[in-house]
Chain A
């Protein structure tokens, strides 16, 4: 079964740091690009960052550039999001999601269950 499991969320003070992890199983992790998407409480989905299969290509949403770092360890089947200089508006559920390139287009599926980050003093 293809599965993604996030961890590392929690309560952190403004200005603090947190590292999220996403452990993949049931597929060849090193063959897929991966994404982080977040959702603030009661709000819509917001794309955070993407990383290609070999880490050659990395992209960030503008509001996260310079503060967040996406990375992966293909040997450990794991995706990471290092978040620094956290702000209240970064409070959200963070999801990781697999990205597949198909003949027809890009498929983002499956998604993990999410991990909650709360930034508050």
Chain B
């Protein structure tokens, strides 16, 4: 199985900051990676697919990059609604695996 490791596990930032979350795959997954945002008590929401393609309706302050084993999600100009937990998921092969999540908190 492909293991997905996110870093950091938690992150404190201020409104207006730019943050980057990293996701590393235990083996190459080309660009078969998605990013999701989840707020407490809510279902996950798709942000990015194919490593860098922005889901329709998602603000352009979210961006993804990477290929192979190393990927990043960058959020520019943080707003209060961006404080949530973020997950990466590989869909290169089954079982599809998620990272453990990165909790983004307000400093």
Please list the residues of chain A having a beta carbon within 8 angstroms of any beta carbon in chain B.
35, 37, 44-47, 50, 59-62, 95, 97, 102, 104-114
Number of A-B pairs, beta carbon distance below 8 Å: 71
> What's the Cα separation between A11 and B84 when bound, in Å?
29
> What's the Cα separation between A47 and B43 when bound, in Å?
14
- In the complex, the answer to whether B97 meets A105 with C-beta atoms within 8 Å is no
> What's the Cα separation between A47 and B95 when bound, in Å?
7
Cβ–Cβ < 8 Å partners of A97 in chain B: 44
Cβ–Cβ < 8 Å partners of A35 in chain B: 96
- In the complex, the answer to whether A44 meets B100 with C-beta atoms within 8 Å is yes
B83 at the interface (CB under 8 A from A): no
Among B10-18, B19-27, B69-77, B86-94, the stretch that binds chain A is B86-94
Cβ–Cβ < 8 Å partners of A62 in chain B: 1, 95
Looking at the complex, which one of B51, B94, B101 makes contact with A45 (CB distance below 8 Å)? B101
Cβ–Cβ < 8 Å partners of B95 in chain A: 47, 59-62
Chain A residue at minimum C-beta to C-beta distance from B46:
A109
Interface of chain A, main secondary structure = strand
Give the B interface residue count (CB, 8 A).
26
Looking at the complex, which one of A59, A105, A107, A111 makes contact with B44 (CB distance below 8 Å)? A111
> What's the Cα separation between A64 and B94 when bound, in Å?
13
> What's the Cα separation between A112 and B53 when bound, in Å?
22
- In the complex, the answer to whether A47 meets B89 with C-beta atoms within 8 Å is yes
18 A–B contact pairs at CB < 8 A? A37-B44, A44-B100, A44-B101, A45-B98, A46-B98, A47-B95, A47-B98, A50-B94, A59-B94, A95-B43, A104-B49, A105-B49, A107-B34, A108-B36, A108-B46, A109-B45, A110-B43, A111-B45
> What's the Cα separation between A97 and B43 when bound, in Å?
10
B31 at the interface (CB under 8 A from A): yes
Cβ–Cβ < 8 Å partners of A111 in chain B: 43-45
- Max chain A CB contacts within 10 Å: which of B1, B31, B96? B96
- In the complex, the answer to whether B45 meets A106 with C-beta atoms within 8 Å is no
